């Protein structure tokens, strides 16, 4: 009996699996490569460079440090004398539309510094703040969230009481922040969000016939030959599928990390997560990155169960594959939709379980207790897995009788 999981894995692992795996790994690299090469930067002399080499220039030009008042005042002085300023403020009129396509080494820092002082929180990568504003940055930053979350702006569905709770938590964020070049960690999140639907499509190709009625290898006849084997068939098939999905996911993550390391590097792992994410959790980029990797794996297990359930219900691999591909494509297409109904539905999609996990834009309240989206995703995913297992157990009776 203990050999049934290897037998189920044998059904999954074949020449077609290898070919499909290599094809999807190549496809997954396409959006990563396109995102990496779409960059224009300035070197120290003000010469524009395009493409992959620009990330090395960004890393070299970034002045890292703890964001104390002295550091911020020095950054302001650097900005006044930088080659970036004419492009940022539109003084240089080029075919690149006043530098709007350009990426600058201190974009994230400047956006963070401008946050408390921008009425509508538009992204502003200039640095024309007064010395007083820089000196009072943390006090102003912590005090700006009541206005930012206000219902009057119709941006967030929080009550006044909930906004007060969030604002109180923002007051407790550890300061000062640490600023470093950390593009690799930012693009880890972006890369996962942009490619995980492709990985799920790959799983659909491989697992869509998990419960097909007549295996070409004749293994189903063996596994259904005794009462004990029929009773445990579910755990064998699910176990084998989860083993395969686990191995495939970490190979996928390794590919993504290797690409990110080669292009952006994983430098800046200890920089503050607040620079780039509006959150009251005091974390560094490494901790947040590991959280996203874990949630990607968790959503992979959820999707694995859902695909196997469809396979059991329809018994036709091509139909299950078509349904899965359409679903993953539609979720990826509309996940950033502006329609209220779409936004409300997307939080329930496993494919979206790696989107804005700890930001204040996606918080949920139970009374006066606040939870980030990562807890909601964990709860939803657990429910999906349990319901899938229960539904598979019930549906297996039809499987035995056919």
Kindly state whether residues 281 and 174 are assigned to the same domain: no
Kindly state whether residues 22 and 147 are assigned to the same domain: no
pLDDT, residue 228, reads: 53
Kindly state whether residues 320 and 383 are assigned to the same domain: yes
d(CA 133, CA 89): 20
pLDDT, residue 272, reads: 96
Q: How many structural domains is the chain composed of?
A: 2
Kindly state whether residues 221 and 322 are assigned to the same domain: yes
pLDDT, residue 265, reads: 94
47 within domain boundaries: no
d(CA 46, CA 167): 41
Kindly state whether residues 329 and 345 are assigned to the same domain: yes
Kindly state whether residues 205 and 318 are assigned to the same domain: yes
d(CA 347, CA 79): 40
Kindly state whether residues 208 and 348 are assigned to the same domain: yes
pLDDT, residue 290, reads: 97
Model-wide pTM > 0.85:
yes
Report how far Cα 136 is from the mean position of its chain's Cα atoms.
Answer: 33
pLDDT in tens, 283-335: 999 999 999 999 999 999 999 999 988 988 887 878 888 988 898 888 888 77
pLDDT, residue 372, reads: 95
56 within domain boundaries: no
Number of residues assigned to the chain: 402
Kindly state whether residues 390 and 242 are assigned to the same domain: yes
What residues make up the domain containing 354?
4-37+182-401
Kindly state whether residues 196 and 331 are assigned to the same domain: yes
71 within domain boundaries: yes
Kindly state whether residues 294 and 310 are assigned to the same domain: yes
Across the chain, which has 402 residues, the per-10-residue mean pLDDT values are: 62 76 87 86 89 89 95 95 89 60 90 86 85 96 87 72 92 95 94 92 85 52 54 75 92 95 94 93 96 97 93 83 88 70 82 92 91 96 94 72 46
- The structure tokens listed for 402 are 């056919």
Kindly state whether residues 202 and 166 are assigned to the same domain: no
Kindly state whether residues 161 and 276 are assigned to the same domain: no
Given 146, 179, 212, the domain boundary residue is 179
pLDDT in tens, 151-167: 555 567 888 899 999 99
pLDDT, residue 214, reads: 46
pLDDT, residue 398, reads: 61
């Amino acid at each position: 009996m203990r050999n049934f999981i290897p037998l189920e894995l044998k059904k999954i692992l074949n020449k077609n699996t290898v070919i499909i795996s290599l094809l999807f790994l190549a496809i997954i690299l396409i959006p990563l490569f396109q995102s990496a090469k779409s960059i224009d930067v300035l070197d120290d002399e003000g010469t524009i460079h395009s493409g992959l080499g620009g990330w090395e220039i960004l890393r070299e030009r970034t002045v890292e440090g703890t964001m104390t008042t002295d550091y911020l005042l020095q950054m302001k002085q650097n900005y006044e004398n930088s080659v970036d300023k004419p492009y940022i403020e539109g003084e240089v009129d080029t075919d690149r539309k006043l530098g709007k396509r350009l990426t600058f080494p201190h974009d994230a820092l400047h956006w963070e510094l401008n946050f408390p002082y921008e009425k509508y929180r538009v992204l502003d990568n200039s640095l024309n703040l007064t010395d007083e504003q820089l000196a009072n940055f943390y006090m102003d930053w912590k005090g700006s969230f009541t206005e930012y979350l206000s219902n009057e702006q119709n941006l967030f569905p929080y009550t006044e009481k909930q906004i007060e709770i969030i604002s109180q938590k923002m007051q407790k964020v550890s300061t000062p922040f640490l600023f470093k070049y950390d593009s690799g960690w930012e693009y880890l999140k972006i890369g996962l969000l942009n490619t995980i639907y492709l990985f799920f499509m790959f799983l659909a190709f491989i697992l869509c016939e998990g419960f097909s009625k007549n295996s070409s290898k004749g293994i189903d006849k063996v596994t259904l030959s005794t009462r004990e084997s029929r009773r445990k068939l579910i755990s064998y098939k699910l176990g084998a599928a989860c083993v395969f999905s686990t191995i495939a996911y970490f190979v996928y993550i390794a590919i993504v990390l290797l690409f990110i390391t080669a292009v952006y590097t994983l430098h800046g792992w200890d920089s503050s997560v607040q620079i780039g994410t509006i959150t009251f959790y005091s974390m560094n980029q490494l901790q947040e990155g590991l959280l996203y990797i874990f949630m990607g794996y968790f959503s992979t297990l959820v999707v694995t169960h859902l695909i196997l359930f469809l396979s059991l219900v329809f018994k036709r691999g091509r139909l299950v594959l078509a349904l899965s591909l359409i679903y993953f494509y539609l979720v990826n297409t509309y996940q950033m939709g502006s329609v209220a109904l779409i936004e409300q539905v997307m939080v329930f999609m496993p494919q979206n379980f790696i989107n804005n996990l700890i930001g204040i834009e996606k918080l949920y309240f139970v009374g006066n207790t606040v939870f980030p989206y990562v807890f909601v995703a964990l709860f939803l995913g657990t429910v999906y897995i349990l319901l899938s297992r229960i539904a598979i157990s019930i549906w297996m009776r039809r499987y035995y009788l056919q």
